[in-house]
Protein backbone atom coordinates (compact mmCIF):
# COMPACT_ATOMS: atom_id res chain seq x y z
CA UNK A 1 0.00 0.00 0.00
CA UNK A 2 1.23 3.49 -0.88
CA UNK A 3 -0.30 6.31 1.18
CA UNK A 4 -0.46 9.96 0.24
CA UNK A 5 -1.07 11.90 3.44
CA UNK A 6 -3.37 14.89 3.72
CA UNK A 7 -2.12 18.21 5.05
CA UNK A 8 -3.50 17.50 8.57
CA UNK A 9 -1.90 14.04 8.50
CA UNK A 10 1.48 15.50 7.54
CA UNK A 11 1.11 17.91 10.46
CA UNK A 12 0.58 14.93 12.77
CA UNK A 13 3.60 13.24 11.20
CA UNK A 14 5.68 16.28 12.19
CA UNK A 15 4.65 15.74 15.82
CA UNK A 16 5.54 12.05 15.63
CA UNK A 17 8.86 12.80 13.95
CA UNK A 18 9.73 15.38 16.58
CA UNK A 19 9.01 12.85 19.32
CA UNK A 20 11.20 10.20 17.68
CA UNK A 21 14.04 12.71 17.30
CA UNK A 22 13.78 13.93 20.88
CA UNK A 23 13.78 10.40 22.29
CA UNK A 24 16.85 9.48 20.24
CA UNK A 25 18.56 12.69 21.31
CA UNK A 26 17.83 11.91 24.97
CA UNK A 27 19.06 8.34 24.63
CA UNK A 28 22.33 9.25 22.93
CA UNK A 29 23.05 11.76 25.69
CA UNK A 30 22.35 9.16 28.40
CA UNK A 31 24.08 6.14 26.88
CA UNK A 32 27.65 5.65 27.99
CA UNK A 33 30.17 3.10 29.18
CA UNK A 34 28.31 0.76 31.53
CA UNK A 35 24.83 1.35 30.07
CA UNK A 36 22.85 -1.87 29.60
CA UNK A 37 20.86 -2.37 26.39
CA UNK A 38 17.83 -3.41 28.46
CA UNK A 39 18.12 -0.13 30.33
CA UNK A 40 17.93 1.74 27.01
CA UNK A 41 14.75 -0.19 26.19
CA UNK A 42 13.21 0.75 29.56
CA UNK A 43 14.07 4.43 29.10
CA UNK A 44 12.51 4.34 25.64
CA UNK A 45 9.33 2.67 26.88
CA UNK A 46 8.88 5.33 29.56
CA UNK A 47 9.38 8.27 27.18
CA UNK A 48 6.96 6.79 24.66
CA UNK A 49 4.34 6.19 27.36
CA UNK A 50 4.81 9.71 28.77
CA UNK A 51 4.06 11.12 25.29
CA UNK A 52 0.90 9.04 24.88
CA UNK A 53 2.41 7.27 21.89
CA UNK A 54 3.24 3.65 21.13
CA UNK A 55 6.29 1.87 19.81
CA UNK A 56 5.87 0.28 16.39
CA UNK A 57 8.13 -2.59 17.47
CA UNK A 58 6.53 -4.29 20.48
CA UNK A 59 3.96 -6.23 18.46
CA UNK A 60 5.92 -6.16 15.19
CA UNK A 61 5.87 -9.66 13.67
CA UNK A 62 7.01 -9.70 10.01
CA UNK A 63 7.83 -12.87 8.09
CA UNK A 64 11.60 -12.43 8.56
CA UNK A 65 11.41 -12.17 12.39
CA UNK A 66 10.82 -14.83 15.01
CA UNK A 67 7.57 -13.93 16.73
CA UNK A 68 6.72 -10.44 18.04
CA UNK A 69 9.80 -8.24 18.55
CA UNK A 70 8.70 -7.55 22.12
CA UNK A 71 10.84 -4.45 22.79
CA UNK A 72 10.43 -0.71 22.20
CA UNK A 73 13.64 0.10 20.29
CA UNK A 74 16.29 -1.64 18.21
CA UNK A 75 19.75 -1.60 19.81
CA UNK A 76 22.59 -2.81 17.56
CA UNK A 77 26.21 -2.94 18.74
CA UNK A 78 29.38 -3.23 16.63
CA UNK A 79 28.77 -6.05 14.11
CA UNK A 80 24.98 -5.87 14.58
CA UNK A 81 23.33 -3.46 12.13
CA UNK A 82 19.58 -4.04 11.83
CA UNK A 83 16.72 -5.19 14.08
CA UNK A 84 19.03 -5.39 17.09
CA UNK A 85 16.98 -6.96 19.86
CA UNK A 86 17.84 -5.47 23.27
CA UNK A 87 19.47 -8.00 25.59
CA UNK A 88 21.57 -8.10 28.74
CA UNK A 89 24.73 -6.44 27.43
CA UNK A 90 26.70 -3.57 28.92
CA UNK A 91 28.25 -1.01 26.58
CA UNK A 92 32.04 -0.62 26.59
CA UNK A 93 34.35 2.20 25.56
CA UNK A 94 34.60 2.38 21.77
CA UNK A 95 31.46 0.36 21.04
CA UNK A 96 29.54 1.46 17.95
CA UNK A 97 25.89 1.69 18.99
CA UNK A 98 22.98 2.07 16.59
CA UNK A 99 19.57 3.08 17.94
CA UNK A 100 16.62 2.60 15.58
CA UNK A 101 13.23 3.87 16.75
CA UNK A 102 9.79 3.91 15.16
CA UNK A 103 6.83 5.41 17.01
CA UNK A 104 3.17 6.00 16.19
CA UNK A 105 1.38 9.08 17.53
CA UNK A 106 -2.03 10.30 16.42
CA UNK A 107 -2.27 7.45 13.94
CA UNK A 108 0.90 8.39 12.01
CA UNK A 109 4.31 6.73 12.36
CA UNK A 110 7.85 8.09 12.04
CA UNK A 111 11.13 6.17 11.96
CA UNK A 112 14.74 7.23 12.50
CA UNK A 113 18.12 5.73 13.37
CA UNK A 114 21.43 7.07 14.59
CA UNK A 115 24.85 5.47 15.06
CA UNK A 116 27.19 6.76 17.76
CA UNK A 117 30.46 5.72 19.37
CA UNK A 118 30.32 5.07 23.10
CA UNK A 119 32.86 6.59 25.47
CA UNK A 120 36.08 8.44 24.67
CA UNK A 121 37.53 6.15 22.01
CA UNK A 122 37.03 7.08 18.36
CA UNK A 123 38.04 4.16 16.11
CA UNK A 124 38.76 5.64 12.68
CA UNK A 125 36.89 2.91 10.81
CA UNK A 126 33.76 3.48 12.90
CA UNK A 127 33.89 7.24 12.43
CA UNK A 128 34.25 6.80 8.66
CA UNK A 129 31.30 4.42 8.42
CA UNK A 130 29.01 6.69 10.41
CA UNK A 131 29.98 9.69 8.29
CA UNK A 132 29.39 7.72 5.08
CA UNK A 133 25.86 6.73 6.09
CA UNK A 134 25.07 10.27 7.21
CA UNK A 135 26.38 11.73 3.93
CA UNK A 136 24.44 9.16 1.91
CA UNK A 137 21.28 10.00 3.85
CA UNK A 138 21.69 13.69 3.07
CA UNK A 139 22.27 12.89 -0.61
CA UNK A 140 19.07 10.84 -0.72
CA UNK A 141 17.11 13.62 0.91
CA UNK A 142 18.55 16.20 -1.50
CA UNK A 143 17.32 14.09 -4.43
CA UNK A 144 13.77 13.86 -3.05
CA UNK A 145 11.27 16.23 -4.66
CA UNK A 146 7.98 16.04 -6.58
CA UNK A 147 8.51 14.42 -9.95
CA UNK A 148 11.67 12.59 -8.90
CA UNK A 149 11.70 8.79 -9.00
CA UNK A 150 12.54 6.35 -6.23
CA UNK A 151 15.53 5.28 -8.32
CA UNK A 152 16.90 8.82 -8.14
CA UNK A 153 17.03 8.61 -4.34
CA UNK A 154 18.51 5.10 -4.40
CA UNK A 155 21.15 6.18 -6.91
CA UNK A 156 22.10 9.20 -4.80
CA UNK A 157 22.45 7.08 -1.67
CA UNK A 158 24.34 4.28 -3.41
CA UNK A 159 26.72 6.66 -5.15
CA UNK A 160 27.92 8.06 -1.82
CA UNK A 161 28.25 4.64 -0.17
CA UNK A 162 30.03 3.17 -3.19
CA UNK A 163 32.43 6.11 -3.46
CA UNK A 164 33.32 5.56 0.19
CA UNK A 165 34.30 2.00 -0.65
CA UNK A 166 31.38 0.05 0.78
CA UNK A 167 29.51 -2.78 -0.88
CA UNK A 168 25.73 -2.45 -0.57
CA UNK A 169 23.21 -5.02 0.62
CA UNK A 170 19.77 -4.59 -0.95
CA UNK A 171 17.86 -7.08 1.21
CA UNK A 172 16.83 -4.23 3.52
CA UNK A 173 16.56 -0.51 2.84
CA UNK A 174 14.25 2.46 3.09
CA UNK A 175 10.50 2.31 2.81
CA UNK A 176 7.25 4.18 2.73
CA UNK A 177 5.70 5.08 6.06
CA UNK A 178 2.41 6.54 7.26
CA UNK A 179 -0.35 4.81 9.17
CA UNK A 180 2.01 1.82 9.36
CA UNK A 181 5.76 1.71 9.99
CA UNK A 182 6.66 -0.30 6.88
CA UNK A 183 4.76 0.13 3.63
CA UNK A 184 5.41 0.59 -0.07
CA UNK A 185 7.40 1.85 -1.83
CA UNK A 186 10.70 0.16 -1.06
CA UNK A 187 13.71 2.48 -1.32
CA UNK A 188 16.84 0.36 -1.91
CA UNK A 189 20.21 1.83 -0.96
CA UNK A 190 21.41 1.66 -4.55
CA UNK A 191 19.60 1.83 -7.87
CA UNK A 192 19.25 3.35 -11.29
CA UNK A 193 18.05 6.94 -11.69
CA UNK A 194 14.79 7.55 -13.52
CA UNK A 195 13.26 4.29 -12.35
CA UNK A 196 10.45 3.49 -9.94
CA UNK A 197 7.56 5.39 -8.42
CA UNK A 198 7.23 9.10 -9.14
CA UNK A 199 7.24 11.10 -5.91
CA UNK A 200 4.37 13.45 -5.10
CA UNK A 201 3.53 15.77 -2.19
CA UNK A 202 2.15 13.96 0.85
CA UNK A 203 4.29 10.85 0.41
CA UNK A 204 6.32 9.93 3.49
CA UNK A 205 9.55 7.96 3.15
CA UNK A 206 11.99 6.55 5.67
CA UNK A 207 15.45 6.64 4.06
CA UNK A 208 18.04 4.48 5.80
CA UNK A 209 21.51 3.91 4.36
CA UNK A 210 23.52 1.31 6.27
CA UNK A 211 26.86 -0.36 5.61
CA UNK A 212 29.20 -3.06 6.87
CA UNK A 213 32.95 -2.49 6.79
CA UNK A 214 34.05 -5.38 4.57
CA UNK A 215 31.01 -7.37 3.41
CA UNK A 216 27.48 -7.09 2.06
CA UNK A 217 26.34 -10.37 3.65
CA UNK A 218 24.17 -10.66 6.75
CA UNK A 219 23.65 -13.42 9.30
CA UNK A 220 20.80 -13.71 11.80
CA UNK A 221 21.34 -14.15 15.54
CA UNK A 222 19.77 -17.07 17.41
CA UNK A 223 17.23 -14.55 18.74
CA UNK A 224 15.67 -14.65 15.27
CA UNK A 225 15.87 -10.87 14.86
CA UNK A 226 19.30 -9.28 15.17
CA UNK A 227 21.11 -9.02 11.83
CA UNK A 228 24.92 -8.97 11.91
CA UNK A 229 27.72 -8.72 9.39
CA UNK A 230 28.72 -12.17 8.17
CA UNK A 231 32.40 -11.45 8.84
CA UNK A 232 31.99 -9.90 12.28
CA UNK A 233 33.04 -6.48 10.99
CA UNK A 234 31.57 -3.27 12.32
CA UNK A 235 28.49 -1.60 10.86
CA UNK A 236 26.67 1.75 10.84
CA UNK A 237 23.14 2.96 10.04
CA UNK A 238 21.51 6.39 9.67
CA UNK A 239 17.83 7.12 9.01
CA UNK A 240 15.33 9.96 8.74
CA UNK A 241 11.65 10.12 7.88
CA UNK A 242 10.92 12.75 5.23
CA UNK A 243 7.76 14.19 3.72
CA UNK A 244 7.66 15.10 0.05
CA UNK A 245 6.47 18.71 -0.21
CA UNK A 246 5.48 20.95 -3.11
CA UNK A 247 9.09 22.02 -3.67
CA UNK A 248 11.34 19.37 -2.11
CA UNK A 249 11.51 17.26 1.01
CA UNK A 250 11.03 18.08 4.70
CA UNK A 251 12.94 16.12 7.32
CA UNK A 252 10.43 15.20 10.01
CA UNK A 253 12.73 13.44 12.49
CA UNK A 254 14.73 16.42 13.69
CA UNK A 255 14.60 17.54 17.36
CA UNK A 256 12.63 20.76 17.83
CA UNK A 257 11.21 20.44 14.30
The pLDDT tens digits along the chain (257 residues) read 899 999 999 999 999 999 999 999 999 999 999 999 999 999 999 999 999 999 999 999 988 888 899 999 999 999 999 999 999 999 999 999 999 999 999 999 999 999 999 999 999 999 999 999 999 999 999 999 999 999 999 999 999 999 999 999 999 999 999 999 999 999 999 999 999 999 999 999 999 999 999 999 999 999 999 999 999 999 999 999 999 999 999 999 998 76
Which CATH code for domain 7-250? 3.90.230.10
Query: 221-224: long-range contacts (C-beta < 8 A, 24 or more apart)?
Result: 221/80, 221/85, 223/66, 223/85, 223/87, 224/65, 224/66, 224/67
Please enumerate in sequence order all residues whose Cβ is within 8 A of that of 129, keeping only pairs 6 or more positions apart, or say none.
96, 115, 166, 211, 213, 234, 235, 236
Q: How many CA atoms lie within 13 A of 34 on its CB side?
A: 1
DSSP at 117: E
Amino acid sequence: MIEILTTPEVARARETGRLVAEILQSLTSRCGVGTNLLEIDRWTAQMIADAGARSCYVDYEPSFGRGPFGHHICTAVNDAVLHGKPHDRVLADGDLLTLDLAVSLGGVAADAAVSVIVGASRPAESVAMIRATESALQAGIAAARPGARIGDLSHAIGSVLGAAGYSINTDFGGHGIGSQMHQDPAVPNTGRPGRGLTLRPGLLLALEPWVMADTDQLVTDPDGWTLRSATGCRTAHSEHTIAITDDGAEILTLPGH
